Amino acid sequence: MESLPTGGIITTVQRQQTARLAGSRPSVNPASKPPAPVWDYRWVIDCPGNTFASGDEVPTCSHAINACRNQPGPGPMGRLYRRQLSPTPSGRWIFTGYSCFPPRTGAPRPAITLNDIRTAYAHTPFRRPHLHVQPPGGRTLVRVPNYLRVTLNGTGYGPGDTRTLQMLGHTVRIRLKPARYTYTYGDGTPPHHTTSPGGPYPDGDVTHTYPQPGIYPMSASITYDAEYAIDTGPWHPIDQPATLTAAATQMHVLTAHPRLVPS
């Protein structure tokens, strides 16, 4: 018997018990002694909202997956209930413990793991970032503000979009949240982290001024955060953000010297 991180208790449930989840049938006992009790078992994924009556309305959650790490059985964590069918039928379900052995039969659909969600998210066709700089052409002057702007090009999914796909008989929705941007200027100054894609002159809110002449690689990246929902279940965060980097722009920073010319 072990304690769960959530405060519950893991009691050992044998594989033979979960194998009987499809139900048992009373058998004829020719002996004169009273027949042994026959039990009906039910296994429910240990996620909030699931009960022995409603079943696996929530087919997966981080708690059910994490609870079976370093435990015998493939997971996810389930709650095991039973009720007596004979010789004295009872309609009352009794909780008997937790198990990391899903039933071999009787489960309507396999559970989706967090790794399944992460893999699907990693293969999402995201819209890719492109960096625009003013003044254009990769040439600028020292002490002159440069205006940066990131646009998303091509087809695919961007901030606020929802991708819907079918996995193991379930409908999975992956929703992209507002993006985070990182601007790198190549001159040793710290990267600039913001939620703004920037903008053109004169109202853009992402600018950088080079104090010294030279050639500096300027770049920008976009980080997509997301959350997922399975069937009609609640939204959960995906703990694996996706970052895409735009092609770098080589900034040639020059100096200017005033010179008088005859009129």
Amino acid in position 60: T
Let me know: does 149 contact 132? Beta carbons within 8 Å: yes
Distant-in-sequence, close-in-space partners of 179: CB < 8 Å, separation ≥ 6? 158, 159, 195, 197, 222, 223, 224, 225
Residues in the chain: 263
Looking at residue 154, its pLDDT comes to: 85
Phi, psi of 105 (to 5 degrees): -130, 160
Q: Which domains are assigned to the chain?
A: 1-111 (no CATH), 115-254 (2.60.40.10)
Q: Between vectors from CA 12 to CA 9 and to CA 17, what angle results, nearest 5°?
A: 125
- Would you write out the chain's pLDDT as a tens digit for each of its 263 residues? 444 444 444 455 555 555 555 455 545 454 556 677 777 777 888 888 787 776 665 556 778 878 887 776 677 888 888 888 777 777 788 888 888 877 665 545 556 778 888 888 998 999 999 999 999 999 999 999 999 999 998 889 999 999 998 877 678 999 999 889 999 999 999 999 999 999 999 999 999 999 999 999 999 999 999 999 988 888 999 988 999 999 999 999 999 877 787 87
Distance CA 203, CA 207 (A): 10
pTM of the model: 0.58
Amino acid in position 143: R
Distance CA 46, CA 32 (A): 41
Phi, psi of 66 (to 5 degrees): -65, -30
